[in-house]
Structures are given as C-alpha cells and as structure tokens.
Amino acid sequence: MIRSSILRFDTVSSTNDLARELAVSGASEGTCIVAREQTAGRGRQGRSWSSPEGEGLYLSLILRPTIKASGSAVLTLASAIAVAEVLRQTFDVSVDIKWPNDVLASGRKICGILIESAVEGDDIQFAIAGIGINVAQRSFPGELHDTATSLLLETNKAFTTEEVLDPLLDRLERWYTVAAANPEEVIARWQELSSFARDCAVRVESAEGKVDGVTRGLNSKGALVIQLAGGELREVVSGEVSLRKTVVSCQ
C-alpha cells in the first residue's frame, strides 16, 4: 500500500527534506508528510515553491519502488497523471500536463512535482515524491501573478486541503502500482492528458543549451522526443520545456 501513515506538521522547511531524513532512518513505504506551510519549499531545477500557510497542499511520499533507476522517469509521469485525474474528475478543472510534471490550468501552473531518489547502481533505494497543489490562493505575488493559479481561482469554490488529499492519495496509489507493473500504460495515459506530447512546437533549455523542435511523443523510458528542423529525432531526458512564441496553442 502506498499509504501506510500520514504525519502532519504545521511548518517545515521542506516536506521532501523531512521525508528524505525519515527514509534514510528506515521509514516504511507509503509514509506521507503533510505540512500546512513550507519555509523553503523546492521545485525542479533548484527553484523555490511558494508555500503560504494553509493555502496549498504540500506533501511528500516515501516510495521504495522495484523500478530500476534507468526507468524512474515513469514515477514522475505517474504522479502527474494522478494529480491531473483528481483535478479533472473530482473538481471538474480542465488541466494539461507540460513535460514532465507541471500540471497547468488555464495555461497557468496549479501543481508542481519533484521526485528525488537515492540510487545505488541501477537500484533505487528509495524515492521521495513531493507534490505541491495550489488550493486556496486568491492571488500570487510578483512574477507568479501571471504564471500560477489555484483550485479556488479555477472553480470559484473554496476547498480544504484535506478534500484534495484523500482522492489524490487514492490516484497516486493506483498509478504507482501501474508504473511498476506496466510502465507503457503510464506513458500512454500521460500522452492522452498532455497537449504538449505531440505536434507541439517547443523550445527545450538544458545544461547543453537550447533546442527548438516539434514534439513527437515519449519514448519507452518517458523521455520527450522532439523532431528538429532537419528531421532528426532527439530524446530529451531533462530540461525546461516552453512553447515557441510563434505558437499559440498545441491543441
């Protein structure tokens, strides 16, 4: 079972950091850390994650998957699917997924996911699935004003974080099980939910530089395949994806 126990805190620096400490100490798979506030929440590529008290669902799950490290991208994809399905099916919010794990509503970020793993060789000792969902924010400061949204803003209805947590854990358990048994199903479902998956003109920025191309789906390991101007197919395993300015929509 993915849900063995839920540990609740008023304030932590980062639920992922606390979950990692517990995992190293031997905490069982499914231990879930939930906080009302993070003072140093983190996103991908070292970014901070805005975590005001009581306004978002901030959680981290300890996982001990049988999946090999070389195929671990499927954990990120499965987590994004779980969030997207909950927002669609439970709260009737139309969402999209930007590779690999940003869940968007109205073109703005409503959820961020950060998977961190302890690896030995090709074996995953444990993984921490960190998820932050904007629930009750009425506005966002600074640059987030134009790039972020919340469940409240999308539905004009007030929900508690607990109303989001329970169905989310159920969907996470389902897709975590599928990821271990049939990763191809995860990849297929992710592509169904994401308008970015195919025929979308994007720019990918990574440590190797910037690459422009058109998306051609995911490979069997969950890497994004893009076709360059000359026809060459390139597999992207990490990086930041953005729409090319000349493209209004991928749908």
230 and 180 within one domain: no
145 and 69 within one domain: yes
Q: Is residue 74 part of a domain?
A: yes
Nearest to 75 by CA among 109, 124, 28, 31: 124
216 and 167 within one domain: no
C-beta separation of 186 from 180 below 8 A: no
183 and 77 within one domain: yes
149 and 59 within one domain: yes
207 and 189 within one domain: no
- What does the pLDDT look like over 38-60, one tens digit per residue? 887 665 545 555 567 778 999 99
Above 80 in pLDDT, residue 223? yes
What is the span of the domain harbouring residue 114?
A: 5-193
Looking at 163, 178, 193, the residue that finishes a domain is 193
Q: Is residue 56 part of a domain?
A: yes
What 3-state DSSP class applies to 99?
A: coil
The label of the residue with tokens 């499965």 reads 78
Residue 222's CATH number: 2.30.30.100
| pTM (whole model) above 0.85 | yes
**pLDDT, averaged across the chain:** 90
Q: Is residue 251 part of a domain?
A: no
When pLDDT is cut at 50, 70 and 90, the band that residue 3 belongs to is low
- What does the pLDDT look like over 97-143, one tens digit per residue? 999 889 999 999 999 999 999 999 989 999 999 999 999 999 888 88
- What does the pLDDT look like over 73-83, one tens digit per residue? 999 999 999 99
* Opening angle at CA 202, ends 183 and 94, nearest 5: 65
Sheet holding 209-218, edge to edge: 233-236, 224-227, 209-218, 198-206, 240-243
Return d(Cα 81, Cα 173) in angstroms, integer.
Answer: 11
Number of separate domains in the chain:
2
The stretch 178-204 carries a mean pLDDT of: 95
The label of the residue with tokens 């793993």 reads 117
Q: Is residue 167 part of a domain?
A: yes
Return d(Cα 86, Cα 98) in angstroms, integer.
Answer: 17
Nearest to 151 by CA among 11, 55, 44, 40: 55
94 and 116 within one domain: yes
Tell me, what's the pLDDT at 100?
Answer: 85
Q: Please, is 35 exposed, middle or buried when counting C-beta atoms within 10 Å of its C-beta (0-12, 13-18, 19+)?
A: buried
Tell me, what's the pLDDT at 42?
Answer: 62
